[in-house]
Structure 1
Amino acid sequence: MDTPLPIVGIIPAAGLATRLQPLPFSKELYPVGFEREGESIKQPKVVSAYLVEQMAAGGAEALYFILRSGKWDIPSYFGDGSKYNLSVAYLLMGLPYGAPYSSDQAYTFVKDKLVLFGFPDILISKPDAFARLIARQNETGADVVLGVFEANHPDKWDVVEVMPDGSIKSIHPKPHKSNLTHAWAFACWSPAFTAFMHNYLQQMQESIIKSGQELSMGQVLQAAIINGLNVHSVEFEKGTCLDVGTPEDLRKAILKHT
C-alpha cells in the first residue's frame, strides 16, 4: 500500500486457550483447512497462518508475535517469516493482563510505524482486509481504523457505535445486552495510538495489578475515543470474522475451510 510509514504487524499470542484445553500444542497452530496450489491440496494450514498472510498482503514488512514462555512451537513453525516474504520476530509477554499489555511489548520496535493488529484465533474471510483499512487510514488520517462487521452474537464481541461517516462514536466490550449489532475484530493504527496506548497502560498499571483483572483492547480503544483520538472504520459484511476460540466455532471453521 502507498503509505509514508513502514508497515508492521502485531499478533498477541500469549493466551492460554482455556476454552479449548487440553491441547498438545499452542492454539495458534491448530490446523484449519489446507494449503492449496491451484486445485491441489498441500499440507494442513494452521489458524494463525491466515492472519500472517493477510498482514503480508496488506504490506507488512515485519511481524511481531508476543508469546508466553513455553509457547516455543510458534517460532519453530513460522521461523524467520521468509515463507511469507516478511520478517518475523518473537517477544515475550511482560505483564499478564491482556492483549494491550502483550502488544505494548513491541512498543520500542513499532512506535514510529503503521501497525496492523489482529488476533491469531480470529479468521477473517477477506484477503484484502488490511489493505482496505490502510486505504481508509490514508483517506481520513484517522489514528485508528477498525475492521467492523455485523456480528451474529454481539455479546461475544466488542460492539461499536458507528456514525454515518464511518467514524466510531463508542466501543462496548462484550456487553450482556445491547441494541448495537456491529463489532470490531482487527485494526490498523498510527504512531499516535501506539503512543497513547503505551502511556495509558503505564497510568493503569498499578490499578490493574491490584485488581488482577485483564484489560481488553476494546477498553483501550474506548479510552482513546474519550481522549479525543480519531477512530474510524471499514465495514465488512456479516460473517467476515469467526472466532475459533471455542470448540463450537472451531468446528465451524474446520468445516468451512476443509
Structure 2
Amino acid sequence: MWGVIPAAGLGSRIQPLAFSKELLPVGTRKDGDVERPRAVSEYLIDRMILAGATRICMVISPGKSDIVEYYGGSVGPANVCYVVQPVAAGLCDAIFRALPWIAPEEEVLVGLPDTVWFPEHGLRFLDGGGLSFLLFPVANPELFDAVVTDEKGRVLEIQVKQKNASSQWIWGAFKLTGAVMRELHDLWCERGREDPYIGTLVNEYLARGGTARAVRAGEAYVDVGTLHGYREAIQLLSGANL
C-alpha cells in the first residue's frame, strides 16, 4: 500500500520559517530513551503506516531538500521516495505526480502533512477497492472541504470552502485504488487541469457516475498551517481537547 503526501506547498500562512512547514516541530517523540521534537508531518506518516502503508511518496517542491534530509529513505518499516512538483499548481497536480509509480490494483492513502488528527488508526476504517474519505467534525467547515453524504455513507457532494456549508463533517484523508486515481487524473486532464482542489474534481467524477463513500470515524482534526492552528495542535496533543 502507498501513502502519498503532497508536501510542495509554500506554507505562506505560517511564514516566515527557516525550514519547510512540514518539519514544523509539534509535540515530541521518543528516540530510544531520548525525547525529541516531532515534525508535524510525522503524525500523518505514522497514521499511514498504522493503516498498512509500506511505501511513502512525498511530493515536494525543488527547494525542499530539508525534507529529504530529514526523512531519508525510510521511516520505520516504510520506504520513502520523493517526487518533485516543479511549480505550485494545486493539490490535484501534486497528488497525480505520484501516479506513474502506482499500479492500478494498488491501494493508495492520501493525507495532508500539516494536519494533526485522531484517532491514530482512523485510516483503517476506510474501505478498499474504490474511493473513500475519512471525515472529521469541525466547528468551521467553511474553512475546509465539507462532505455531504446520504444515510448510507455515500458521498453526494463536496463543498469546497463554501460559506454556510450544509455539513459539519470535512474530509481529512482518503483512500483509493491506483485505477480510480488514474480515472481522476484523466478527468482532470480532460477538464484542462483547472481543478486545484480534489473536491471539485470529485464532484465532477460523481456527476459522471463515479461513486465514493465516507466514514465518520474522525474525532478531532487540526490544520497546523496557521499560528492559531499550531496552538490548537499543541492543546490537542496535550489532551486538552480530547
TM-score normalised according to structure 1 size: 0.86
8 A Cα contact 2:6 2:95, kept in partner: yes
Which of residues 201, 225, 231 in structure 2 aligns to 1:245? 225
8 A Cα contact 2:5 2:57, kept in partner: yes
- Cα 1:241–1:43 shift into 2, 3 Å: same
Residue equivalent to 1:87: 79
Dislocated runs of 4+, deviation >3 Å = none
Which of residues 86, 89, 92 in structure 2 aligns to 1:100? 92
Displacement of 1:130 in angstroms is 1.4
Once the two structures are superposed, the pairs formed by residues 110-189 of structure 1 within 5 Å of their partners are 110-112=102-104, 113-133=106-126, 136-137=127-128, 141=129, 143-189=130-176
Residue equivalent to 1:211: none
Amino acid at match of 1:54: R
8 A Cα contact 1:158 1:171, kept in partner: yes
8 A Cα contact 1:94 1:105, kept in partner: no
Amino acid at match of 1:120: P
Q: Distance in 2 between matches of 1:131 and 1:190?
A: 15
Residue equivalent to 1:3: none
- Cα 1:158–1:48 shift into 2, 3 Å: same
CA RMSD of aligned residues (A): 1.8
Amino acid at match of 1:193: V
Amino acid at match of 2:5: I
TM-score normalised according to structure 2 size: 0.92
- Cα 1:51–1:33 shift into 2, 3 Å: same
Q: Distance in 2 between matches of 1:148 and 1:256?
A: 18
Residue equivalent to 1:19: 13
Residue equivalent to 1:197: 184
Deviations 1:55-80 (A, max 9, x none): 11111110100001111100100111
Which of the pair is proportionally richer in helix?
1
Displacement of 1:222 in angstroms is 1.4
5+ residue gaps, structure 1: 1-6, 209-213
Residue equivalent to 2:205: 224
Deviations 1:13-38 (A, max 9, x none): 01001100111000000010000379
Residue equivalent to 1:65: 58
Question: What fraction of aligned residue pairs are identical, expressed as a percent?
Answer: 27
Q: Distance in 2 between matches of 1:189 and 1:200?
A: 15
Q: Distance in 2 between matches of 1:227 and 1:95?
A: 30
Range moving further from structure 2, 229-238 or 8-17:
229-238
5+ residue gaps, structure 2: none
Amino acid at match of 1:90: Y
Displacement of 1:89 in angstroms is 0.2
Displacement of 1:254 in angstroms is 2.0
For residue 13 of structure 2, give the secondary structure of its aligned residue in structure 1: coil
